Copies of this chain bind each other. A is one copy, B any other.
Amino acid sequence: MFIHHVYFWLKNEDSREDFDKLVTGLRKLSVVNTIQQFYIGRPADTNRDVIDTSYSVSWLLFFDNAADQASYQTDPIHLKFVEECSSLWKKVVVYDSVNT
């Protein structure tokens, strides 16, 4: 199991239009065939010191293994997503993890 969790911060963080564009782009991206499960989220309504609620969109992917995630990075569908959507965000943070 390989878990790839990406958090996006939109340039225009209050723009519903930009939020929707990014979510639409992620839905198109979700068809990459090595993706086993995907979850598109927004910050929950929780609020403690340790919680980072500043991001705009959460993109959580499950792959079977590291090789599948690597191939996703260079998949033409992924490259097209980056080309079409990367102007929307100002910051991305990725956490990749594997089973302990």
> Which A residues are within 8 Å of any B CB, using their own CB?
1-3, 5, 7, 23, 39-46, 48, 50-53, 55, 57-58, 60, 66, 69-70, 92-100
Contacts and interface: CB of A to CB of B under 8 A. Distances in A.
Contacts of A2: 44
Nearest to A51: B94
Given A5-B5, A39-B1, A39-B3, A44 B100 contact: no
A44 B7 contact: no
B58 A3 contact: yes
B60 A93 contact: no
30 contacts: A1-B41, A2-B44, A3-B60, A5-B5, A5-B60, A5-B95, A7-B95, A23-B100, A40-B99, A41-B97, A41-B98, A42-B97, A42-B98, A43-B95, A43-B97, A43-B98, A44-B69, A44-B96, A44-B97, A46-B66, A46-B69, A50-B92, A50-B93, A51-B95, A51-B96, A52-B94, A55-B95, A57-B100, A58-B95, A60-B97
